[in-house]
Structure 1
């Protein structure tokens, strides 16, 4: 873990160095044009992110495709027979839990809006309030909430997946002992709002390209400048 003190200025330097190592982050290229234009897109992202919990991207895509091919709309998913829904999304793993979480989330949204399957109401909320609302749904943790809020509403909250958490701890952005929720809170406080999405993507790229869990390749300028992990 890096022993250097992190300031806003140093975070900006890290961001610039990661951009130099990889390339600038193009939000539209990563996630398409304005996803808030369609009311149901935020709900779709929430459902897909629940499916993605603890599973590879390929299986998430397969489960999501099967789900939205089988059911015509969110109401049909909420009202679906539990066993049928489980079989539909089984490829995502933990299908029993995820089926319950998806139907619970859809019910919470419908009850909040008076019948609509839209998360547009979150846009008017402060980030902390919106995150609290989502996390009040059992099975929606800080990462799932942050994905929806940052990717689809542009709210300044860092989605901390395994790559972001590993790299952040090795660089000393958050303490090695921090829980995932504490890592979310720490990065939200430390990273300038306008850099949160871009740094999120860049940390993932770095985790996949150089800073892997085992046998990390530290022969790059970013690791040399910011990391003191066991592989450096």
Structure 2
């Protein structure tokens, strides 16, 4: 079937996912708080870099080790690369992630004239804030969107593998779209106030029903929206 998407249909998808899984509680899901201290935005960025291509439990362990070992962001930026790499090894890709974290902290300090704060992003338009973050090597659109949406409440969808897979199967995103293009298409399609809850609901649907292999399409959401090979 060919899906035609507009705001009404996106809202219907959100409502149907809520019916299947319950409403999304933003604070319960991620503890996200746009009014948090400015440094928390930096912590969100560092933690999101750690989370790239790794399970949540390993991200948690790496972040715990990192923030226990170093007193502040200045200490992390100045840390010996090998020591930092070993501290976060459980997160995988430790060489790359250590370099990305230190590059990000350097960029923030230089932008602010010495502070480790991303508060300046709050005053920027979403596209400008995303462009600033993605100028940092190793910070892609997903990492930038996590920081901007989870911490600042800006309307930009973080597209992980679950969100991308389900969105393509539902026709929300074109099948041939790159991950970067998927971010653009979802940002254009989804009403601002639904970006965070739909992000969470699509991930849950991807984990519980719409898996990469052997998807379980015997559910009311897939019956209406999905046209994958398993349906």
- Residue aligning to 2:71: 72
Offset at 1:33?
6.0
Moved beyond 3 Å, runs of 4+: none
Question: Any residues of structure 2 matched to 1:80-99 within 5 Å, and which?
Answer: 80-99=79-98
Q: Contact conserved, 2:32 with 2:151, CA < 8 A, in 1?
A: no
Give, in whole Å, the separation in 1 of the partners of 2:32 and 2:212.
33
- Residue aligning to 2:131: 132
- Residue aligning to 2:150: 151
Offset at 1:34?
2.4
Q: SS of the counterpart of 1:116?
A: coil
TM-score (norm 1): 0.98
Give, in whole Å, the separation in 1 of the partners of 2:59 and 2:203.
18
Are 1:230 and 2:190 an aligned pair? no
5+ residue gaps in structure 1? none
Q: Contact conserved, 2:34 with 2:153, CA < 8 A, in 1?
A: no
Question: Any residues of structure 2 matched to 1:183-198 within 5 Å, and which?
Answer: 183-198=182-197
Offset at 1:29?
1.0
TM-score (norm 2): 0.98
- Residue aligning to 2:114: 115
Offset at 1:70?
0.3
Offset at 1:28?
1.4
- Deviations 1:77-136 (CA, angstroms, capped at 9, x unpaired): 000000100010011111000000000000000000010000011000000000000000
- Deviations 1:121-162 (CA, angstroms, capped at 9, x unpaired): 100000000000000001000000000000000000000000
Question: Any residues of structure 2 matched to 1:161-172 within 5 Å, and which?
Answer: 161-172=160-171
- Deviations 1:30-89 (CA, angstroms, capped at 9, x unpaired): 122625321210000100000011111111111110000000000000000001000100
Q: SS of the counterpart of 1:37?
A: coil
Q: Contact conserved, 1:40 with 1:117, CA < 8 A, in 2?
A: yes
5+ residue gaps in structure 2? none
Q: Contact conserved, 1:8 with 1:190, CA < 8 A, in 2?
A: yes
RMSD: 0.9
Give, in whole Å, the separation in 2 of the partners of 1:221 and 1:178.
26
Q: Contact conserved, 1:39 with 1:120, CA < 8 A, in 2?
A: yes
